[in-house]
Structure 1
């Protein structure tokens, strides 16, 4: 029989790898961090695991995958233009002028059409991929889902490289058809997997900051991918960035297999068991965004509408800010005569500053803000009584007073480590307000440095996406955390799809009358509307728990 001590569990169960805290902290009487201990299981040697923590390994994975996926974003535009040019001169007479032979409006129009089809298919396939990725996570766990979302992009970019090599209309068709592989695994699903995994491996009080770090790592990858992909595409053959991307994705897939933590799907959301709830796992993604039935401390039931209101506010917010970078590039290109190199530098500047802010400043702001908004103690603790001397003789001791009749009525309460949704919500509103003001100011830009200044200042009001995830994960039961992250990703994808169509038409209409700058004022107005919606969001009552939807009880409206 194996040896045991006072820390050995008497009964083994399926959740033995899920702990509610460190044993040392428990012995000291302090609340311990609630994290999923299954996250420490990886294929790395033990000494490497001490350096490459689960959180750090996920951040590196986000950087590597995003860098690889963004490496072809700039070259693919030139590849489409090259293939359209080849198709055009397949039927048109040979070019006899000077300069670029592809500088024809028919070629530019065809390139824009193909890029629009590529963008829309990317978003549609990404939405479907989010549904499938949520199923992967629930059935096989985040590690398996991450492997799928890094392996199938290798096949997709390989097919794109073949298409670019073939050229003409056939090559364009091959590139467009390759988007189908993004349904099984693609750029939309891997971020959902990483957000789900990082929510399991960090302490609840650090969850919002971890979401920001992950987004910042992705922004660094975006900046590096855009810059290096454009340089390689300009200095070498146009097919070379696609070949390098395939290699980078293969490297990312190997890294994810060996270095990212394994989390048992049975333990998802189980590391937060101090929040009791009768709600079970397995709700559909959009069902978790509906109104909640919450039982208050006095036993009464109330209907809580803040979750759907918050989802609506996030949708309108993404609708407003999602088109901002594209609109700024188009405005700089058409009004301020920016060259492609200047636009690339603008995108690199914006992504780099956003990455720095989210990686280093945002987590500290969240930590400081939560301490600032933490509830103060109701009464000041009495100062300790100083004892001048301790009696050593029996006759010097006072008589022992009678024992109290009962235990203290109000024992000290443990510290609630994850009670920080109030500041996250406040930060979300403030960041949206700053984004609205700066976006409106871009409408007055008349010189190049105005655009660069906006590209530096706008990222300082980012973090709304991470803050909204932090609020959502606090409003739903721990068991539904993967579903709510999937749902908010779907809301963001649908909003991104909508903003391309809506504000694309708005910019086109204003540009036709020579008032392209008015588009920024429209976006700022939509952002203000998002803030108004977010003002109606309330934090759940303290001590309340979510009940199942079929609860048979009287509801207080």
Structure 2
């Protein structure tokens, strides 16, 4: 069977090539198909002649069905839009009422909050809002009691959690919807996506009736229903529906009309929700939305036709069936992403080449949405910040923007597509005619019979008519230049100087719409007009997934950019950044193109002759590299999530009451060894004195290049009188007067002998401004902050204990410090401080404690030490594996790279939010994050170095300081 199949395949291929040569003059000829051009119009792709499925006439749907689908899009979008504005206002009122219920006086007393004070906010707010606020409240204009910082902060965090959960659950809903469309059909899936939001609204109504903190939590938890039915799923179902009932050449225009209908519904929903809330009650929009969703469900059930799903092919070969079953679990959810993977095509000449058109189109769409997705919010922020627009003005602005965008996509966009196709088709037909006239007459005798047959409309009986696939290149051209128009029109916002000009911008910007609709139409053409409904569903789901990722990214990226420009008073520059990103997207799309004319995609049938050879291979190196990269990324992902969970679970040791204290600051002897003392030591000494210890012992010696810090510490320990010894570096600064109380709290337990505190980089208040902070200060804050987070995670995971404490600030019991055996071991040469972190890890894991001994006590920290020690070697292995994977399988490499970049940018955003004054030198934080690329290898090279240099080796000796021998300060 295998030999006959292969031979017949070769015969078919040769006959196919002869047919191509015979009918070549009758096909459209694009000699410049390898180049991108504005005047491309129609390409023709050959469909494989080996398709053994019987020809089935496609179902032709009447024009009325399209209008029914458009009306369904309008109704569903209207239902989703009604509660958008009232929901934000409800969150604010709930938070406000809950706050004043816990704080009847409206005041927070310093940092001493009651244990129940965190219940006035939502789940996320209770975890993230600072524990203490200023006693001076910002009451705004004095009339709105909710216009204070704690309420606004808690409301913003609650809304952020709602938006984040909607995005995550919506992405899962997107994958589930694609699977349901293939299994049960598009109409039942659409009905599911419209009905389950009604169930979600019912839960939200319960939350609104309950009110307060509990109501917020109920509404946030209701978003879980979005996994089964939500906005992402209904848009995918409607897009699939409209492409099933519209012929191939009309799908791009139909997708534009569908998007316009959705925008009509959303704009009217925004307006209707606010009007109903003001006219009746804030709870009325939720009840109205429930009725609208139920009406939309009934409409889908009664008026839309049923399109049965495509039957799944069952392979008679058990081996193939088993392989198909193994890969179906992967392709079920990641099928949409596979649409953008580079594909191999066979040209007319039999040359196999890889095409990256869909891959580049996906990146172009991503950059386009990244540039324009944040624009509605950005317009509101800019108008509020610069022109003091209120809720009513912003509502009218966005309503005008959304409505005009819907009008353009519904009526103007299809006309543009039709005119552009006719114009480019006419241009190409003219070019084709000129090319045929200029051909050499020497070929005419050889092809005269064939041309006569073609002119008479007759064909040879042996000729088999091959179906053609049309690709309208103007759709890709429109996608390119709509990004240019988006960029230029957005750039105009930078020159707005009056409030009324914002309304003019809202009128002009919609005329650049249609990028997403044209991109979807282009992707469908790249899939092919003969593609099945399942393949079209995957293509549309892939574009929707790219759009979702872009919308999520644009909120982060341009939110940070807007905040950075707002801090320097140049918010208009953010529109310049929008325009720049749009132009970059245009540049990417310039390299996107359709497959060459006359080519066909290389599929499983073409690979049949090579299946047996692949099965004989013992392993596949490409699969190994992908598995290595996926495993490494999965490890990093899980490590990050576990660390975040542990860090959030970290709790400080509780402070005992005054009567319960085992030790007080007056029981502490502070010992400070110093050499080549820094001029800032006086500030550090002041911080120590404010904590009121029993004594401060400063141990110093003559300047020398090699430190004898342990000898100094032992001298101070033997001179001390306190019950607790505090060993402090001379550059440690205690910024608060309660630090010593917190460090003494763990000694309430008798089995604790050594205590260390967290270390951060101290920056005076006068330097916490963008104009004064230096890059090295930003780098220091970033470096110490990351270490503090990792230490919190390790302490929380290991039960609050660790095998080593930083020598910057360490407290221990006097009976331990004065023990002769301890002092002998402490001063022994083999036990001195290690020069580098890597050497410390290596010595602890191999020589001192041993891996298993440390792992039994502190498993989390031990595992991190092993990973940190191996990172310098594993890093290059991972980089090489990733480079090879990216070279062989670019889509998988880009997926892994994009996820890594997203994770990193998320952490960088948290840093910029926590330290807004450091945003000007954020690049310094990025550089210090990559310091390990140099420092780790330096540590490996200098493992044998024992020297510990002093400040004299890098700084001039400190002037004006003369400490000798032992100086005590009471």
Q: Structure 2: how far apart are the matches of 1:349 and 1:520? A: 19
Among 334, 357, 376, the alignment partner of 2:429 is 376
Conserved 8 A contact 2:471-2:526: no
The alignment partner of 2:240 has SS state of helix
After superposing the two structures, state which structure 1 stretch, 61-70 or 508-517, moved more.
508-517
1:409 Cα offset (Å):
5.2
1:205–1:417 Cα contact (<8 Å) kept: no
CA distance in structure 1 between the partners assigned to 2:497 and 2:54 by the alignment: 61
Partner of 1:302, secondary structure, is: strand
What's 1:6 paired with?
none
Aligned pairs for 1:516-531 (under 5 A) are 516-531=571-586
Deviation per CA, 1:10-44, whole angstroms, max 9, x where unpaired?
xxx9989x524xxxxxxxxxxxxxxx34xx5xxxx
In the alignment, which residue of structure 1 is the partner of 2:346?
Answer: 295
Match of 2:507 among 429, 432, 456: 456
Distance 1:242 1:347 in 2: 21
1:548 counterpart residue number: 603
- Distance in 2 of aligned mates of 1:405 and 1:193: 51
Alignment partner, residue 86 of structure 2: 75
Instruction: Say which of 94, 98, 109 aligns to 1:87.
Output: 98
- Distance of aligned partners of 1:497 and 1:407 in 2 relative to their CA distance in 1, 3 Å threshold: closer
Q: Which residue of 2 aligns with 1:247?
A: 291
Q: Which residue of 1 aligns with 2:75?
A: 64
Unaligned 5+ runs, structure 1: 1-12, 21-35, 41-49, 269-279, 381-403
- Counterpart CA distance in 2 for 1:221 and 1:229 is 12
Post-superposition shift, 1:54? Answer: 1.4
1:167 aligns to 2:211 (yes or no): yes
Deviations 1:175-222 (A, max 9, x none): 100100001110111110111111111121111000000000001001
Matched, 1:537 2:592: yes
After superposition, the C-alpha distances for 1:415-471 in whole angstroms (9 at most, x for unaligned) are 999735310111111111111111111122221111111111111110001000011
Map of 2:497 onto structure 1: 446
- Aligned partner of 1:394 in structure 2 is none
Paired with 2:293 and 2:547, the residues of 1 have a C-alpha distance of 25
Render the CA deviation track for 1:297-341: whole Å, top value 9, x for unaligned. Answer: 233221111111111111111111111111111111121100101
| Maintained 8 Å contact 2:482/2:512 | yes
Asked if the contact 1:440–1:520 (Cα under 8 Å) also holds between the matched residues in 2, the reply is yes
Asked whether 1:145 is paired with 2:189, we answer yes
1:303 partner SS:
strand
Distance 2:506 2:449 in 1: 68
* Equivalent pair of 2:73/2:262 in contact (CA under 8 Å): yes
Alpha carbons of structure 1 residues 405 and 420: separation in structure 2 relative to 1, 3 Å? closer
The 3 A distance-change label for structure 1 pair 159 and 521 is: same
The one of 478, 497, 500 aligned to 2:555: 500
Which residue of structure 2 aligns with residue 112 of structure 1?
156
Higher relative contact order, chain-length normalized (CA < 8 Å, sep 6+):
1
Per-residue Cα deviation, 1:337-359 (whole angstroms, up to 9, x for no partner): 00101111011101111111111
Deviation digits for residues 115-174 of structure 1 (CA, Å, limit 9, x no counterpart):
111111111111110000000011111101101100110011111111112111101001
Q: Is the 8 A contact 1:204 1:418 kept in 2?
A: no
Q: Is the 8 A contact 2:193 2:234 kept in 1?
A: yes
Label 1:326 to 1:314 Cα distance change in 2 as closer, same or farther (>3 A).
same
Residues 267 and 363 (structure 1), Cα distance of their counterparts in 2 relative to 1, 3 Å cut: farther
- Which of 193, 198, 204 in structure 2 is aligned with 1:154? 198
Are positions 1:491 and 2:552 aligned together?
no
Match of 2:477 among 426, 435, 458: 426
For residues 288 and 338 of structure 1, what CA distance do their matches in structure 2 show? 44
Aligned residues: 481
Give the number of the structure whose alpha-carbon radius of gyration is greater.
2
1:482 is aligned, of 522, 537, 551, to: 537
Secondary structure, counterpart of 2:550 in structure 1: helix
Alignment correspondent of 2:57: 19
Query: Following the alignment from structure 2 to structure 1, what is the Cα–Cα distance between the partners of residues 65 and 311?
Result: 16
When normalised by structure 2's length, the TM-score is 0.47
Provide the C-alpha distance between the structure 2 equivalents of 1:141 and 1:15, rounded to a whole number of angstroms. Answer: 22
CA contact (8 A) 1:289 1:307 kept: yes
Kindly indicate whether the alpha-carbon contact (under 8 Å) linking 1:295 and 1:547 is maintained by their aligned counterparts in 2.
yes
Which whole-Å CA distance do the structure 1 matches of 2:206 and 2:382 have between them? Answer: 34
Instruction: Measure the CA separation in 2 of the matches of 1:244 and 1:302.
Output: 56
> 2: CA distance between counterparts of 1:325 and 1:501?
15
Which residue matches 2:389? 338
Give the aligned CA root-mean-square deviation in angstroms: 2.8
- What is the match of residue 218 of structure 1? 262
Could you say what secondary structure the match of 2:387 adopts? coil
Q: Which residue of 2 aligns with 1:316?
A: 367
Q: Name the CA distance, whole Å, in 2 between partners of 1:519 and 1:151.
A: 40
Alpha-carbon distance between aligned partners in 1 of 2:203 and 2:183, rounded to the nearest angstrom: 29
> SS of 2:594's equivalent?
coil
Corresponding residue for 1:392?
none
Q: C-alpha separation between the residues in 1 aligned to 2:498 and 2:182? A: 51
Match of 1:512 in 2: 567
